[in-house]
Amino acid sequence: MAAGGVLDPRPVVRVERQRDGGVDERAEPVSAGAGRWPYSIPAVAQLLREGLELDDLTVLVGENGAGKSTIVEAVAMAYGLGAEGGSVNGRDVTWESESPLHDSLRLVRGGGAPKWGYFLRAETMHGMFTYLQTAQKEQTSGPVEHFHTRSHGEAFWDIVTTSRFSGGGLFVLDEPEAGLSFDAQLRLVALLLELADRRGAQVLMATHSPILASVPGAAVYELSDAGMHRTRWEDLAMVDHHRRYLDAPERYLRHLLE
């Protein structure tokens, strides 16, 4: 509940460590580099140690292996979403590859928040399209969405422009820029703004895209070997790298070709 007794419309107010669910705490060191994966990831260790407040729009950025996808996947699963994507009712599994981190998390939910949610992740989207088409054929005599006849980017828009994203809830996106052109990423920025402004809607996103990370008003966290810290978009390492490359690509290409 928010200050003054007003119900908090955010589906997830805070992510913190689960301390009373029969979880073996010895398997979860809270110091970076200790224990087994994923608890050895510095950002994961920090999450378990300090917790994380989620804004209306929270963006995680960082290098490969920094823990972005691991964290957003764990939050999605703790919320009740499938590891490979879909809604709160979806449970399609083609290959069990998720980390056990979700079992270690407790989500503090807003008292007046909707319980709907949807998880989209680039690496499993093809399988999710197959699951959705198969389920529609089996469960209805109406028209079926033919995602596989569309490009990756077109199919992505077929998902986010339907009722799946029309109301409130927690919308988790894992590297949604895959398959999206520059213009399409700008369209997604507009959609993210719309979601963040909608009462009861909340976005958690992991991305490598400086375009998507530039959404005004977003809480941006940079993940690295030092853990996780909130920062400004213009101070992100990836923004600096893109600017330097676009300004003088030959400086980077020279080292690759030598």
Q: What is the mean pLDDT of residues 72-95?
A: 81
> Quick check: 60 pLDDT over 90?
yes
Domain ranges of the chain: 34-88+97-137+154-231
pLDDT digits (tens, 9 = 90+) for 158-187: 777 777 788 899 999 999 999 899 999 999
Report the distance separating Cα 127 and Cα 114, nearest Å: 27
C-alpha dist (Å) from residue 231 to 23, 30, 84, 126, 136: 32, 23, 29, 33, 43
Mark out the alpha helices in 140-248 (DSSP H runs): 152-160, 182-197, 237-247
Q: Which has the minimum average pLDDT: 121-125, 133-137, 185-189?
A: 133-137
User: Element (H or E) spanning 204, and its range?
Assistant: strand 201-206
pLDDT digits (tens, 9 = 90+) for 208-240: 999 999 999 999 999 999 999 999 999 999 999
Between the two ends of the chain, the Cα-to-Cα distance in Å is 59
Q: What is the CATH code of the structural domain delimited by 34-88+97-137+154-231?
A: 3.40.50
